[in-house]
Amino acid sequence: MIICALAIISAKEINSMGNEGAPENLFRKDLKLEVNKAFELLESTTRYKRVKENVPGSEGLRGKRITMVDDVKTVLEGFVEDLVVASDGNASFILHADQPVEELIAEILASDPDVVLVDGHLAKGIQGNKVVEFLLQSRPDILPILFSSDTRFAQAAGVEGVITSVNKDSADPEASVQQIAAVVEKAAREAS
């Protein structure tokens, strides 16, 4: 004789469990693990014991594969938590040191991104808009965003296919991530 037991959990019971029991979190990646893995790949000694639950106003990034490219390690580190949490663990980070553009493009494409955040000024005088041009030649479906603290990029991104630039505010990464989400949401509306 086979006995099946079926447990029905009401919404009230789920809510009493806190965020850990909420249906949207049942299959969510361990974001602390993902954040710490990103720090490890950046060869950073930073490790988090706890990460924020969400980034308010970043719902448009949930599940998107986001790759951030910058030539300053501490800048990348400053955005790890917010981008990993906003994307549900689908963010990757590339430190540009002395790789030629072709190698950098290969690294970016290997991450299979939906969205690429490219610093306006990379190492060795490489301009972010040139990286975007090469990316769009290889993968026109990628959404490239010039991500710079240089306000001149906000005035004119200067490359066809670049929807916009977003101000990279290292002092307030959450605000920058919210701006990125707004750009991604706008692109999705315009594409449909």
Q: What is the pLDDT of residue 1?
A: 47
pLDDT at 28 over 50: yes
Q: What is the pLDDT of residue 4?
A: 41
**Which CATH number does the domain 55-191 belong to among 3.30.750.200, 3.40.50.170, 2.60.40.420, 3.40.50.2300?**
3.40.50.2300
Say what percent of the chain tops pLDDT 90: 66
DSSP 59: G
For 130, other C-beta atoms within 10 Å of its C-beta total: 14
Q: What is the pLDDT of residue 108?
A: 97
Spatial CA neighbour of 137 closest among 165, 118, 111, 159: 159
Relative to beta strand 91-95, strand 115-118 is: unpaired
Region class of 32: left (phi > 0), else alpha (psi between -120 and 50), else beta: alpha
Q: What is the pLDDT of residue 191?
A: 82
Q: 59 CB contacts (<8 Å, ≥6 apart)? A: 181
Residue-range domain boundaries for the chain: 55-191
Q: pTM score, two decimals?
A: 0.82
> Which residue has better confidence, 54 or 164?
54
Instruction: State pLDDT tens for residues 123-153.
Output: 999 988 889 889 989 999 999 999 988 766 6
